[in-house]
Amino acid sequence: MSCVATFSLFPLERPDQGSFAPYVARTIEIVRASGLPYELGAMGTVLEGDFDEIMQTIKHCHDDMRKGCGRVYLNLTVDSREGDPGRMRDKVDSVGELLK
């Protein structure tokens, strides 16, 4: 199975009022530790793996953020199908090919 997902996770209630960047950076550390291929974007992080690996990684990110914040918001989209790894890159390249 090959799932490509994108998620954004941020605090709605937190002890500080500054940038969200430290919260996103902490999430990326957890995603990196998962070993799943990922790509950080301006509105979310794309990652690839099987469904359980992705949901497990997102659970770690959620649980970690909830330790320090009273309320968090998760927005997750998953495109799940059979397929070889590398879809994250292939989906973009196949569009790029058509735009040449």
| Residue of 16, 35, 77, 85 that binds a copy of itself (CB under 8 A) | 77
Query: In a 10 Å sphere around its CB, with 0-12 CB exposed, 13-18 middle and 19+ buried, how is residue 69 labelled?
Result: middle
| Residue of 16, 33, 35, 59 that binds a copy of itself (CB under 8 A) | 59
Residue 15, interface with a copy of itself (CB under 8 A)? no
Residue 76, interface with a copy of itself (CB under 8 A)? yes
Residue 60 φ/ψ, nearest 5 degrees: -60, -45
| Residue of 34, 53, 55, 64 that binds a copy of itself (CB under 8 A) | 55
The alpha carbon dihedral of 59, 37, 100, 44 has a sign of positive
